[in-house]
Amino acid sequence: MKRTIPILVVLAALLAAMAVVNPFFLEPAGFLAFVKRAAPLVILAAGQYFVIVSGEFDLSVGSLVTVEVVVAARLIDGQESATWWVLLLLVAIGALVGLVNGLVTTLLSVPSFITTLGMLLILSGAVFLWTGGAPRGALSQAFRVFGRGDLGPVPWSVVILVVVAAAAVLLMRADFGKRLMATGDNDRAAALSGVRVARTRILAFVLSGLAAAVAGILLGGFAGVSAQVGQGLEFSAITAVVLGGVVLGGGRGSVVAAMAGAFSLEALFALLNLYGISGPLEYTVQGVIIIAAVAAGAAQFPSRLRAST
């Protein structure tokens, strides 16, 4: 839990800064609008956390999100009746892509960096081939409710986020979480103590794929069909996880901190936008964060400085 505190402090500071710049943020509607906007990235970060804490990467989530949205639009094509089976199919696609990532990484011993980079290229190429750059079809109203509509005063995406977050926390508290942590910390030791390392990692990839499916459903619902919807999301998710103090290489870090990292990143982007700084600088900020966070994790600070914090 201690590890979670710094990112929560950061998040609180960013939220306070937002409230100063934009008082509407303090009203329930304004705050919920922010949570709604952050929900897809937070869910992706939770998925990415499972993979990273098991000692791997998942670079394919951004293009997977695009695939989900483009496939949904093409298959639903505006018919309300198609909504539910397409939703199920999307979840299955997410799980399948995660499964393939996991199998290739573990059974074929391909480093996950390469596996998922390859998957990113395969998926984005496939989307382009299938759509020719212009997605067809349209999403149904029932589909879009999840990203756009409200359940009473609360946006649906916030409800879904709460459910996903609770599930993620419970998973990490269960035996699975301990096995995952052990795998990421030292897979040899974990294997010797009876953890089925490959199976654990495969499951982590499947969870990341599922998270991408949910994020895709929310993003497609929020803003409609686009062939660029998932662009760069893999880096945002990894940045969020790293910002949450989760160690690349695995074995350390909490899922709550990873999600708080995603909220912080989203708050930072919103803040940059409120100050009128946006566009390319967002990438710069992410780059600085990734390097600074990993450097801070690796640097040896003098003990006095350490004590003072």
Partner 1 sequence: MSRRQSLSPLVVTAAVSVLLAAGCTSDRPPGATGATTSASASAGSGAATEGANTGEQSKFFVQADFDAQLAMRGKEAQGPADRPWEQAIDPKMVSTADYKKKAGDRHLCFSNAAVNNPWRQVGWKSMQAEVALHKEITKFTALDAEGKDDKQISDIAELQGQGCDALIVSPNTTATLTPAVQAACEKVPVIVFDRGVQTDCPVTFINPIGGYAFGADGAEFLVEKVPAGGKVLALRILPGVDVLETRWSAAKVIFDQSKLDVVGVEFTDGDAAKTKSIVSDYIQRHGKIDGVWMDAGATAVAAVEAFEDAGQPVPAIVGEDQQDFLQKWKQEGLTAIAPTYPTYQWRTPIIAALKILNGEEVPETWKLPQPKITAENLDKYLQPNMPPLHYAMCGCETMPGFPANWGGK
Find the farthest-apart pair of alpha carbons in the chain and give their distance in angstroms, rounded.
65
Give, as one character, the DSSP assignment of residue 137.
S
Tokens of 41: 């990235």
Q: For the segment 174-193, give every residue that binds partner 1 (CB under 8 A).
A: none
45 touches 258 (CB < 8 A) = yes
Residue from 98, 102, 135, 184 in contact with partner 1 (CB under 8 A):
135
How far apart are CB 41 and partner 1 at their closest, in Å? 11
Segment near partner 1 (CB under 8 A), from 100-108, 164-172, 186-194, 217-225?
217-225
- The residue (of 54 and 124) whose beta carbon lies closer to partner 1 is 124
The binder of partner 1 chosen from 2, 108, 175, 302 (CB under 8 A): 2
Which positions ≥6 away from 174 have C-beta within 8 Å?
none
d(C-alpha 19, C-alpha 130), whole Å? 44
Work out how close the CB of 148 gets to partner 1 at its nearest, in angstroms, rounded to a whole number: 7
Helices (H) and strands (E) in the chain, counts: 14, 2
Q: Is residue 79 close enough to count as binding partner 1 by CB under 8 A?
A: no
Instruction: Return the range that interacts with partner 1 (CB under 8 A); candidates 49-57, 90-98, 205-213, 237-245.
Output: 237-245
Q: In whole angstroms, how close is the CB of 103 to partner 1 at the nearest point?
A: 31
Question: Where do we find the tokens 């709460």?
Answer: 162
Q: Are 10 and 16 in contact (CB under 8 A)?
A: no
Closer to partner 1 by Cβ: residue 100 or 127: 127
Q: Which 245-304 residues touch partner 1, going by CB under 8 A?
A: 245, 247, 252-253, 261, 264, 268, 270-281, 284-285, 288-289, 292-297, 299-301
CA 232 to chain centre: 11
- Angle (CA) 166 8 172, round 5°: 30
Q: What three-state secondary structure class fits 185?
A: helix
> Which of the residues 17 through 76 are near partner 1 (CB under 8 A)?
22, 24, 30, 33, 37
Return the closest-CA partner of residue 59 out of 71, 47, 69.
Answer: 47
User: Are the beta carbons of 180 and 173 closer than 8 angstroms?
Assistant: no
d(CA 236, CA 117) in angstroms, rounded, equals 15
Which 148-177 residues touch partner 1, going by CB under 8 A? 148
Q: How far apart are CA 74 and CA 51, in angstroms?
A: 30
* Closest CB 115 distance from partner 1, rounded Å: 25
Pairing of strands 154-155, 150-151: antiparallel
Q: How many residues bind partner 1 (CB under 8 A)?
A: 67
Identity of the residue, 22 or 95, whose beta carbon is nearer to partner 1 in the bound complex? 22
Cβ proximity to partner 1, 185 vs 198, nearer residue: 185
Residues near partner 1, by CB under 8 A: 2-3, 5-7, 9-10, 13, 22, 24, 30, 33, 37, 128, 132-138, 148, 219, 222-226, 228-229, 231, 243-245, 247, 252-253, 261, 264, 268, 270-281, 284-285, 288-289, 292-297, 299-301, 306, 309
